[in-house]
Amino acid sequence: MAMMARVKSSGGSGSSVSPPVIASILLASANDKKLHELTVIATTLGLTAVAAPAWARGRSPLPEVVEDGATFVDNALKKAVSALRHARECGDAQVSVIADDSGLCVARLAGAPGVQSARYAQANGDRLSIDAANRGKLLAQLTDADLKNRRAHFECWLVLVGPLAAGPGCGQTGDGIAWRAFGGRCDGAILLEGRGEGGFGYDSLFMSDDLNKSFAEAGEADKHGVSHRGRAMVALSAYLQLKKLTATDERPLFVRPIGLLTLTEALKRTLGSELRYADQALEQALAHAPQLGSKERHAVADMHWYALRRLDHLCLAFLAIKGAVKPKEAPDPRQLDAKASGVLALLTLADLDTHGLPRDAGKKGDASALDGLAKRSPGLSGAWPATPGQCTTALRAASNAARELPELHRNAMAVGFTPAFMTALDMDLGAEHARLALDYLCQRAPLTLRANRTRISAKRLAEELLEDGIVTLPVPRVDDALWCVHSARVTQTRSFIEGRVEIQDEGSQRIALAVAARSGETVIDWCAGAGGKTLALAALMRGEGRLIALDPHPERLAECKRRCERAGVRVDARVIEKSPKPLSEFGDIADAVLVDAPCSSTGALRRNPELRWHLDGDWLNRFGEQQLQILLRASSHVKRGGRLVYATCSLLRRENEDVVSAFLATRDEFDLAVEMRIGPADGAWLATHPLPSFGPDGFFYAVLRRRPKQPSVGKDADRSRPSAAKA
């Protein structure tokens, strides 16, 4: 996949008998205006692509597609798949296709014109006359002249199909075509009349919030920088760059006996902590093995994560080695003792092939990573508590035992979660959202950074980290966020030590942005913990105003203070008691209060795979009432007209929307302004098949506004009114 090359458009004076263009990416659109925008944006982003007219020279043109889908993604997918099948019929077997669908969505019209934007007026004629008829119908339907009541947004979805879309998390058509979708949105309002001569469609009526002018008045570069199509293309470009930069050649998994011992130690420490704090256990184990090289450290970390995710299967295999009776339900890995760590480490290597990929133990002749280690270290393998053959046999017995379990337990083991969590997710989210969420949570999480904007920009930080050999890419639509392309020891860089960068998930950064903290405000971070969001709020406030960090756990708040000092942030950090009563030292003083409430953490299971084994009924139903009480308590300190932001990293409605509904039923002076799900908590986003290894954790947030105090009508005002008799 080539980058930094010019898009080949339909222009030029090439001979009609020139050979057909061979494309890696084909832009499929029958709308010349859209195609022009796509090619310009693609060129700006450095993507190599071929526009449909240029591709069709020497071939038959792309077939027309009836755009009758219910959503933008449906229509774009339909066009992209049609173009890909046609390209393959023409002999272009390796091409991938990008197609789009987009439209204008008006709030007062319940989202119309939407997918009907190009056909809104049902007019005939050329494109210019159809566009004029569509604009005329739209203006006739909007009778309120106040722009606040004419809010709208443009939405665009690009669908990529073909080889470049393949990989973990991709969607597939019935005939096996891989696809993914990438969205973009821009907000604004509908003007009373058209302005400007540029653009097309509804551009002259759309007043962009970002540009404070209509799209038709804006220059091409300005429009593309903030437009729905430009933002969708940025998201697609980021995906293609990540796919290119993370592509690796298949190499054998390199593990020496010291690596096995380190994995054993990491598992021992994890199990010894009752299957908690696995990241700390791994860090401590690696610290005791300084002789490990960087690749072997990464291999141990990957195997530790894999073992924790597969611990139910490894538990069954462990029982098989010990000759235990087959269980009648999925095993509970919390019952494993730290003494089992040696066998579990061997089983982990036996469950992987020689390249470190999951292995089918029932497939004969398929060598395992443990076989490779035993072959390289014949003198040491005799001291292992189990032989490679015993481990393979035990894994095969575990697979057979899992197939004999009741359906719920069998299905739970197939994806590596508890039956209680499977049931809860299905109940709260629905079967399809639950399925996509479970698939997403089975992938590794990215290392995401936040530039401390008070000290450095994200662009400059990326350059600074590159000097340390750390490659990053900007996260679309989150200005301070960077993805690390590969695992990296960021905490050892000068950027981290000197407070210019923090490690923080994209979703967590988006919650901080939702608080909309501004310089000079009083902001309270109610459940501050170790201070991740406190630091993000401080950066937004630029050190001006009052930032208060509260938490009932002194040790967490101490870490918050330490991090704030490193970042050069002033914060009023206070330990509070767990009580339903408002704080006596504060009244309703805050412009904004963030309540990042304690929760089941089901949205963060990629980062904490050991947590999945604690998701029983007690854990999943533990937090709702506690969350409501914390929210009620914190709300007492929001001033009139202020903002209360409730957030969790849970996927479950019982901890999210249900808590907000219960709060609003109790505190009627608050109104719900925004309610948002992020990452795997958002079923619609999951249905676009994002790249799971570079997406956010699952979060929910709601922005609640306390109504301003209404001016009271006093006695003096009553006296000033004429009485009925005098009137």
Residues with catalytic roles: 101
Evaluated on CA atoms 398, 400, 401, 403, the torsion sign reads positive
**One-letter amino acid for residue 498 of the chain:** E
String of b and e for 2-33 (b: at least 16 CB within 10 Å)? eeeeebbbbeeeeeeeeeebebbbbbbbbeee
Q: Which two tokens stand for residue 448?
A: 């995401």
**N-to-C CA span, the chain:** 83
Q: Which two tokens stand for residue 212?
A: 């404070």
Residue 214: enclosing H or E segment and its boundaries?
strand 213-214
**Residue 195 in contact with residue 216, Cβ under 8 Å?**
yes
140-143 long-range CB contacts below 8 Å, 24 or more apart?
A: 141/109, 142/106, 142/108, 142/109, 142/190
Rounded CA separation 314/346 (Å): 10
Q: Return the SS3 of 358.
A: strand
**Residue 584 in contact with residue 633, Cβ under 8 Å?**
no
**Residue 253 in contact with residue 299, Cβ under 8 Å?**
yes
Q: 152 pairs with which residues across the strands?
A: 106, 188
**One-letter amino acid for residue 593 of the chain:** V
Rounded CA separation 191/214 (Å): 8
Q: Which two tokens stand for residue 365?
A: 């002749």
Residue 191 is given by DSSP the state -
Rounded CA separation 551/564 (Å): 15
Residue 610: enclosing H or E segment and its boundaries?
none
User: Measuring CA to CA, which residue among 423, 465, 421, 192 is closest to residue 312?
Assistant: 421
DSSP string, 502-558: EE--HHHHHHHHHHT--TT-EEEESS-TTSHHHHHHHHHHTT-SEEEEEES-HHHHH
**Helices and strands: H and E segment counts in the chain:** 27, 19
Rounded CA separation 330/458 (Å): 46
Distances (CA, A) of 695 to 27, 181, 345, 511: 25, 14, 29, 15
Which segments within 389-468 are labelled E, that is strand? Answer: 447-451
Rounded CA separation 561/583 (Å): 21
Residues 6+ apart with CB under 8 A from 236: 98, 158, 160, 182
Give the count of alpha carbons within 13 A of 367, CB side only.
11
Residue 377: enclosing H or E segment and its boundaries?
none
* 176 C-beta neighbours (distance < 10 Å), count: 7
